Structure 1
Amino acid sequence: MRPTNHALLATGTGAAIWALSGELLAVPLTFATGVLVDADHLPDQIWHFYLKRRPRCFIVLHAWEWLVALSVATVFLSFPWWTVAVTLGYATHILTDHHFNMPHRWGYFLTYRAYHRFRIERISPDWRIEDPLQALLRELRFRKDHGDDSQTVPSDESHG
């Protein structure tokens, strides 16, 4: 899912939490945890495009294990608004990514990726890693059509 879509969904989720809790800070907190998770793509992109190494799928922040930990913490702390905001922001990101990116059914488990040594072809053969500069430029461009003109590299390309 594109970062702009994550931003819209996280903002809406944060607004709902604000409406229910009365805490305005729920909006930026939910936004942050619903969008900034994607920063973990940068190491994968640098690894492949700049260090010229075989594509890997580290994305350490994209993991169901983190959602379980956040959910347990939210329950343990008796549902304070800020843990609800963090957990729901993160949950919207992981749920939509897993649905729209369609990895292997276990692909969003960090333990599964580690077991397979983060080899992208074992986690999701159709996964593509975008050049970071091209991805950033594409997100910053205003586009009327929703076509995807990004330059991607197939996961089976063998580098270093």
Structure 2
Amino acid sequence: ISSAVAGGTWAITGSPAAAGVALGVGVLMDVDHLYDYYQRYVKGKKDRVYVLFHAWEYPMIMSFISLVFYHPFLLAVILGHLAHVTTDHVWNRLTPFAYSITYRAIKGFDSRHIAPHHHVMDSYRSLPRLLPLGHRVEPWFQRK
């Protein structure tokens, strides 16, 4: 999806660099999951979900800014971010406010309010398989 958005960004802006920005944003915004991994596996907070970069508010704010200060890179960030959050929201089938950082903060990032009837942290069980030599650390993750 990020590649398609990058191609579309290049077509819209005429900037291959903006395409790279869209691709980078679409892929790298998942780095916020590292904080959730830390909270779950190190701190033992199993009922919290933060994903701080996954929020509808960010592209909305950036869209208003782009009305005054247009730049192809800003458009690329908006498109890459929107594509990622939209895909995640549809794929994960969560409540309408689950991808609102404001709502999550008000609810104390408590997964029982953000994603009732979903075990959002179960998705993190696949983490060891994503790591090189993950099978060696998998027992540690299973104990957590």
Tell me whether the two structures share a fold, i.e. TM-score over 0.5.
yes
User: In structure 1, how many angstroms separate the alpha carbons of the residues matched to 2:74 and 2:57?
Assistant: 16
The unaligned stretches of length 5 or more in structure 2 are: 133-140
Alignment match of 2:17 (pick from 25, 35, 45): 25
Instruction: Summarize the alignment of residues 37-116 of structure 1 with structure 2, pairs less than 5 Å apart.
Output: 37-77=29-69, 79-116=70-107
Asked whether the equivalents of residues 116 and 122 of structure 1 are also in contact (C-alpha less than 8 Å), the reply is: yes
- 68 and 59 in structure 1: CA distance in 2 versus 1, 3 angstrom threshold: same
Runs in 1 of length 4+ with deviation above 6 angstroms?
Answer: none
Matched residue count: 133
* Unaligned segments of structure 1, at least 5 residues: 1-8, 139-151, 154-158
Cα offsets for 1:15-66 (capped at 9, x unmatched): 1221232211022100111111111111111111122223311111111111
Task: Specify which structure has the higher proportion of helix.
Answer: 2
Q: What RMSD over aligned residues (CA atoms) do the two structures have, in Å? A: 2.4
Q: Residues 120 and 135 (structure 1 numbering): CA distance in 2 closer, same or farther, change over 3 Å?
A: farther
Counting aligned pairs with the same residue, the percent is 29
TM-score calculated relative to the size of structure 2? 0.81
The answer to whether the Cα contact below 8 Å between 1:44 and 1:55 also exists between their aligned partners in 2 is no
